[in-house]
Chains A and B, each alone.
Chain A
Amino acid sequence: GAVVSQHPSRVICKSGTSVKIECRSLDFQATTMFWYRQFPKKSLMLMATSNEGSKATYEQGVEKDKFLINHASLTLSTLTVTSAHPEDSSFYICSGGPGQGTDTQYFGPGTRLTVL
């Protein structure tokens, strides 16, 4: 199957700082990628749709100014958590699929963010 990587796998930061998480499709191009957040013992919550070359689309209740998404190329999307607070601590996962209209999404290994 297709491979999606994320970096870093874990990050610990102080409250008020910003953290950037990278999501890369290693063996396919993705015009669209997705960012999810997973709370402990909970399912995944879709945060936003990252569109190459255009603005991201955010789900209801997700603050776009806090979770900045940039999809600068067909293989890279970044999520920046700005002015992070302890309540932003979570497991962030991205996904992408090869080709437009694909019916299968491949997920990155996730990034564990801990805000002190």
Chain B
Amino acid sequence: GNSVTQMEGPVTLSEEAFLTINCTYTATGYPSLFWYVQYPGEGLQLLLKATKADDKGSNKGFEATYRKETTSFHLEKGSVQVSDSAVYFCALISGGYQKVTFGTGTKLQVIP
């Protein structure tokens, strides 16, 4: 079956630090990959996505590259802000279905 593995959190960074949140996946076929973000007390928002190998998704300074050879989709940002504090979920959809398989989420806390 499909699965997504994310690095354990929480991750605490100082403002303007570089962020990497690792994500690897197992899936049948050729999945589409996503990063969702959940701010405190809110639902999930789509942050970025990539639908095929070597695609790079990017949004709000975040980016992630679909690496088929390493089955990875690591999230990066060059300079984090306090407002980036949230829980980040790596996810995939595969097999023509719309069901989303989520990772466990990684909490990011950015301190001034």
B111 in contact (CB, < 8 A): no
B70 in contact (CB, < 8 A): no
Is the pair B32, A103 in contact by a Cβ cutoff of 8 Å? yes
Q: Which stretch (A12-20, A61-69, A70-78, A106-114) binds chain B?
A: A106-114
B66 in contact (CB, < 8 A): no
Q: Which stretch (B11-19, B20-28, B41-49) binds chain A?
A: B41-49
Chain A interface mostly = loop
Q: Which of B89, B98, B102, B107 has the most CB of A within 10 A?
A: B98
Is the pair A34, B42 in contact by a Cβ cutoff of 8 Å? no
Is the pair B99, A49 in contact by a Cβ cutoff of 8 Å? yes
Expressed in whole angstroms, the minimum distance between the Cβ of B50 and any Cβ of chain A is: 10
Is the pair B32, A104 in contact by a Cβ cutoff of 8 Å? yes
Expressed in whole angstroms, the minimum distance between the Cβ of B106 and any Cβ of chain A is: 10
Q: How far is the CA of A95 from the CA of B101 in the complex (A)?
A: 13
The 8 A CB mask of A69-109 against B (1 = contact, 0 = none) is 00000000000000000000000010101000111111111
Number of B positions contacting A (CB below 8 A):
21
Is the pair A105, B103 in contact by a Cβ cutoff of 8 Å? no
Quick one: which of A42, A46, A104, A107 contacts B43, CB cutoff 8 A?
A: A107
Q: Which residues of A contact B44 (CB under 8 A)?
A: 44, 93, 95, 107
Is the pair B93, A42 in contact by a Cβ cutoff of 8 Å? no
Residues of B within 8 A of A (CB): 32, 34, 36, 42-46, 49, 51, 89, 93, 96, 98-100, 102-105, 107
A-B pairs, 3 with minimum CB distance: A109-B43, A107-B44, A110-B43
